[in-house]
Amino acid sequence: MNNVDRQRDNRRALLWVGMATAIGLFLRLWQIAGEGLWIDEAFSVWIARQSLPAALSWLVRIDQHPPLYYVLLHLWLRLGDDAATVRALSAIVSTLNIPAIYALGRRLLGSKVGMVAAVVLALSPFHIRFAQEARMYALLSLNVSLSMLSLAYLLTDPRASSEPLGRSLLAWLHARRTSAGRPPAGAVRTDLAWAGYVAFTAATMLTHNTAVLYLAAANVFVLGWIGLGGRRPGEGRWLVRPSLRNWGLAQVGVLLLWSPWLGAFTVQALAVYREFWIPAPTWRTVVETVQSLLCWYLPQRLSWAWVIWIGYGLLLLLGTYRLRRRPGRAGLLWVAALTPLAGEWLVSLVRPIFFDHTLIWTTIPLYLLLALGIRQLSYRSFVLTALAMVATVNGLSIREYHVRFQKEQWDEAAAYVSDRAEAGDLILFHATWVQIPFDYYFYQPVEERGVPVDLFDSGVLEPKMTAGDLPRMEALIRDRTRVWLVYSHQWYTDPQGLVPAALDRALELQLRRRFYGLDVRLYGTDRGEP
């Protein structure tokens, strides 16, 4: 291919990826403030509003997540703290993932596969959902994409095995200060790739604690590839074998950057081990998780949905078959996709943690295999038809998401209480931390207390109600003429219904309104009209 053709192909690729990125941004911003913040999002804002030292302290005491997303949100809140603004951080991060997966696909599998993968990611209902949520999952996926991009560069660059890590970059920095000759640009890029792998892998682990499985996946593949002998001389389709010394130094760099969080990680992991709300996974859970990753929220009324899943499965098989003569690339993608699934499943045998949110980054290798399967169809008309079908299916799911998906209605509940609250009222919150999303929207000067304890007084995010907590609650409502109860997450924290039962004994139910995800009740000394 001559330079003119190469430049034309590059312009076409940039135009294609630019269009995919623009469409992806539009879909991620569309109706981004259509619903109010739910409890986890409001908690993100609550943490981010604290000073950084206070936020870190709260995370260690009551949360299960590392600090990177909260730190970024803390800075982002200078732009505003309304629902659209706080979610826009995730939307922008998720949009940046589109050119990132293109670059990864181009480096590993070719420009055309990268372009198809960018389109698949741009239209992914699963990614659009988390692009519209003030949580860390979009950032987790972007960090993995950038880390894998750095790793892909190293696995396709012979210098990764022949050049000592860091030497060329140090020589380049030295040359900028002196008149010494500069090292080759390619050698500097190799060192920058090593730096990128170290930085983005550490960032991944500082975004979510389950991302230690990404570090495990990278080491399973690379150490296995080194053990198998890696690249064969003269065969360009084989990945390069990094030197064991360079790889070891890179892992040390990752762990050094992550190590300040190690103590907190241990505290959080022990807290999760003692008790966590996620139920034990079944094989059906795993199947439904993979379906969500490929096409979340597919309309249930579709009687031919099984055809869609068979189609996705065939495309993944076609993508894998395309790599039959490039086993290193196939191994890298499948190890990256399966290690977290297997890892979370194995951990869940002791303490269930298997959750589709935390597995969002496995879509990166899966979408690349899917894109490769589409490209395997050879004829351009077949490729366009397959892309059109994927776009149609995703479009149906995106529409279903916007029409039917609901978040907890804290905004409506707060407005309901605000319109009816009176001086002297008491608002009780169960399970305690539901006060955070409620207060995000509620500004009336009304006394608020938590049951079984006030917010975070026990140092537990969701303390459970017991019979021993009833005397305190009875003392709170004694001599009260009007008491509001904001009742949520009771399936976990008050399965026996102790809180409403105690209120029913002491007062009369006057008003009750159910909102999605919570229940609001007003108790008083006289019976009113429900």
Kindly list the domain boundaries of the chain, sorted by start residue: 3-404, 410-524
The predicted structure's pLDDT at residue 530: 42
The predicted structure's pLDDT at residue 180: 56
The predicted structure's pLDDT at residue 169: 59
Interstrand relation of 518-524 and 508-515 (parallel, antiparallel or unpaired): antiparallel
The predicted structure's pLDDT at residue 187: 67
* The pair of three-digit structure tokens given for residue 452, joined into one six-digit string: 């079984």
Give pLDDT < 70 ranges for the chain. 1-2, 166-187, 230-237, 526-530
Given a contact cutoff of 8 angstroms between Cβ atoms, the answer to whether 261 and 206 are in contact is: yes
Contacts of 479 (CB under 8 A, 6+ apart): none
Give the separation between CA 146 and CA 104, rounded to whole angstroms.
Answer: 8
Given a contact cutoff of 8 angstroms between Cβ atoms, the answer to whether 48 and 56 are in contact is: no
The predicted structure's pLDDT at residue 153: 94
Q: How many CB atoms lie within 10 A of CB 471?
A: 10
How open is the CA angle 14-17-20, to the nearest 5 degrees? 150
The predicted structure's pLDDT at residue 475: 96
Give the separation between CA 72 and CA 77, rounded to whole angstroms.
Answer: 9
Give the separation between CA 104 and CA 114, rounded to whole angstroms.
Answer: 7
